[in-house]
Amino acid sequence: MKQKKAALRQEMKARRATLQQQLGASAPRQIASRLLMLPEMAGTVQKGIKAERNESSIVAGFYPIQSEIDCLFLLKALNAVQWRCALPVMSGVSKHLAFKEWDLEEELKEGAYGTREPLSDMLYVMPDVVLVPLLAFDETGHRLGYGGGYYDRTLDIYREKGHSFTAIGVAFEGQKQDSLPVSKQDQPLDIIVTEEKVYRP
């Protein structure tokens, strides 16, 4: 299983890099448009037949590295409709992620693996939506990550605690696979959004 995943990671890193070169400028705009249309992004407060978003709703994104989708563009689009934003902070001891609020203007500090993190005095938050990077995905909601397991452990902790949230993978359509090798610790995504489609496993 590990060897199969490792080989697929190398293949998908190369494929994603090609897709980023081809679609990097347009894909985030198309993905943002699809995200904004999701009912999960419309609101958590129901008033009659109209859904209104709770102004305290928080979306956690990620600082893009390598050839990942430009999640900062997605956060700016969501912040424009009053979503509070957050970025992940690595936890070296338990190897899961925590999230700190970020106003999109405050300076970020260097994080692990080339990422950037909010400064230490920013507030920790429990997001309502978690945008998740990936190397590959399939229609059952499984994803292939970098192998560190940070997102899998984080999603598992949130689900074990009963925290209500939506895990949304963001990717290029070309990262889709018919199926992926799945381990018992792998946590499925609730939704995957690409520049072409929205997948609901």
Give pLDDT, residue 2: 75
Q: Taking 90 as the threshold, does the pLDDT of residue 50 lie above it?
A: no
Residue 199, annotated ligand binder?
A: no
Q: What is the pLDDT of residues 109-149, one digit of tens each?
A: 998 888 999 988 889 999 999 999 999 999 999 999 999 99
Q: What is the pLDDT of residues 6-29, one digit of tens each?
A: 999 999 999 999 999 999 999 999
Residue 144, annotated ligand binder?
A: yes
Residue 149, annotated ligand binder?
A: yes
Distance CA 136, CA 148 (A): 15
Residue 174, annotated ligand binder?
A: no
Per-chain mean pLDDT for the chain? 91
Non-local (6+) Cβ contacts of 43 within 8 A are 51, 52, 53, 54, 57
**55 confidence band (pLDDT: 50, 70, 90):** low
Residue 141, annotated ligand binder?
A: no
Residue 146, annotated ligand binder?
A: yes
Residue 61, annotated ligand binder?
A: no
Q: What percent of the chain has pLDDT over 70?
A: 92
Residue 72, annotated ligand binder?
A: no
Q: Domains of the chain (ranges plus CATH)?
A: 2-199 (3.40.50.10420)
Residue 148, annotated ligand binder?
A: yes
For residues 39-64, average pLDDT:
69
Contact 58, 41 (CB under 8 A): no
Residue 114, annotated ligand binder?
A: no
Contact 131, 74 (CB under 8 A): yes
Residue 147, annotated ligand binder?
A: yes
Residue 151, annotated ligand binder?
A: yes
Residue 150, annotated ligand binder?
A: yes
Residue 9, annotated ligand binder?
A: yes
